[in-house]
Amino acid sequence: MTGPAIQVRGLSKRFGSRTVIDRLDIDFAAGQFTVVLGSSGCGKSTLLRAIAGLETVDEGTVSIGGNDMTRVPPQSRGCAMVFQNYALYPHMTVRENIGYALKLQGLARHERMRRIDEAAELLGLAEMLDRKPAQLSGGQRQRVAIGRAIARRQRVLLFDEPLSNLDAKLRHDMRVELRRLHDEIGATTIFVTHDQVEAMTLADQVVLLNQGRVEQADTPATLYHRPRNLFTAGFVGTPPMNLLDATHEGDRLSVEGGGEVRLDRRTANATPVVLGIRPEAVLLHATTGMDATVEAQEDLGSHRVIYARLGKQRLLVTEHGPRTLRPGQTVRVGLPPQAISLFEKASGERIGHATGDVPA
């Protein structure tokens, strides 16, 4: 059974005079994994809590499965939430922690035990059911918190930065596990995080928030390859997209401190633009292009990040294969037109749709 669709319409929340979420319209498709991405303080937890019913809102509606839930108490919304700090009961065993909400719900003992065992099986906790939280690692505690949500069999799962307390290796393993779990149980999942790697790897849809507003809601590939504006372009991707000041005139793009690129689009007047290009899309040792000066490089084992300069502008390029560059060297770089995202300098909005196709 697939979880319900969720719609947020015109949703606003203020704390005092401060607007924390600002007229949000978001669609969470039925049974999909949506990641709400944004830096600390942008309103992610407030949005999640408003959907769960743990926070009242000032304007707008939340509907779940086509029903207006805006004034419905949390326990009647059909959502289970996993909190960032796990919030386990320290004096209870894993079994009791997972089963506690079921007990409050008044479920019979045999049904509780069945659900606890099933959740424990799914999460690899079967051997640990008699332990207390203090006898578990961070990753195991996190799995108990998830197990507690799953055992409630709600069709909506809400995760508030559940992996941010884990170390890098565990975070990676838990990401894979969470996605598998989602595909297995088919609940509508909303996962909020500041970590773009989690967003890119987990999501069917990413909603990028900035100061309580949606900057872009799209698939990870679209967000990455066709950012709608400079905010998204700068937020998504490590190392980040190069954003170079340039002028578009006729079919030429003149990069400040660099050279020219020919485009298959024309503009009547000289327009100040920002040229966006991913570090991995820049060609090194190109036959035509512009000269860049290498300043430094970072070796990450599988590849290197080259820090170069075009006049006063910084250009990042990733290089795979054998090392060919040294600091101080000049290298000709090519900026393939099909890999370029163009933004209007004044508004920061993407121009047109012809560039930067999303790979299948």
Site for ligand ADP in 216-245 (CB under 6 A): none
3-class DSSP assignment, residue 336: coil
Q: Residues 81, 86, 89, 94: is their CA dihedral positive or negative? A: positive
The residues near 102 (Cβ < 8 Å, ≥ 6 apart) are 111, 112, 115, 116, 151, 152
Pair of tokens at residue 22:
């600002």
Binding part of the chain for ligand ADP, among 3-11, 33-41, 61-69, 100-108 by CB under 6 A, reads 33-41
350 binds ligand ADP (CB under 6 A): no
Q: Minimal CA–CA distance to 224: which of 214, 209, 234, 215?
A: 234
Pair of tokens at residue 186:
């088919």
The residues near 59 (Cβ < 8 Å, ≥ 6 apart) are 10, 11, 12, 23
> 142 or 254: whose CB is closer to ligand ADP?
142
The residues near 17 (Cβ < 8 Å, ≥ 6 apart) are none
Dihedral of the CA atoms 144, 6, 21, 38 (nearest 10)?
A: 60
Pair of tokens at residue 66:
């086509």
Minimum distance, C-beta of residue 208 to ligand ADP, in the bound complex (Å): 12
Please tell me the distance from the alpha carbon of residue 83 to that of residue 352, in angstroms, as a whole number: 41
Minimum distance, C-beta of residue 208 to Mg ion, in the bound complex (Å): 15
> 35 or 308: whose CB is closer to ligand ADP?
35
Minimum distance, C-beta of residue 55 to ligand ADP, in the bound complex (Å): 8
> 57 or 306: whose CB is closer to ligand ADP?
57
**# residues contacting ligand ADP (CB under 6 A):** 10
Among 15, 75, 314, 354, binds ligand ADP (CB under 6 A): 15
Residue 17 site contact among ligand ADP, Mg ion, none (CB < 5 to 8 Å, cut-off depends on kind)? none
> 51 or 136: whose CB is closer to ligand ADP?
51
Please list the alpha-helical segments (H only) found in the chain.
Answer: 44-52, 94-104, 109-122, 138-151, 168-185, 196-202, 220-225, 230-235
Residue 225 site contact among ligand ADP, Mg ion, none (CB < 5 to 8 Å, cut-off depends on kind)? none
Residue 272 site contact among Mg ion, ligand ADP, none (CB < 5 to 8 Å, cut-off depends on kind)? none
17 binds ligand ADP (CB under 6 A): no
Q: Do the strands 79-82 and 67-68 form a parallel or antiparallel pair, or are they unpaired?
A: unpaired
> Between 109-122 and 94-104, two packed helices, what is the crossing angle to 10 degrees?
130
> 84 or 293: whose CB is closer to ligand ADP?
84
Interface ranges with Mg ion (CB under 5 A): 45
164 binds ligand ADP (CB under 6 A): no
193 binds ligand ADP (CB under 6 A): no
Are 87 and 159 in contact by the 8 Å Cβ rule? The answer is no
Binding part of the chain for ligand ADP, among 38-46, 231-239, 287-295, 344-352 by CB under 6 A, reads 38-46
162 binds ligand ADP (CB under 6 A): no
Minimum distance, C-beta of residue 49 to ligand ADP, in the bound complex (Å): 8
Minimum distance, C-beta of residue 192 to Mg ion, in the bound complex (Å): 7
Minimum distance, C-beta of residue 18 to Mg ion, in the bound complex (Å): 15
20 binds ligand ADP (CB under 6 A): yes
Secondary-structure percent of the chain, ordered helix, strand, coil, rounded to 5: 30, 35, 35
Site for ligand ADP in 42-81 (CB under 6 A): 42-46
196 binds ligand ADP (CB under 6 A): no
Minimum distance, C-beta of residue 44 to Mg ion, in the bound complex (Å): 5
Contact positions vs ligand ADP (CB under 6 A): 15, 20, 38, 40-46
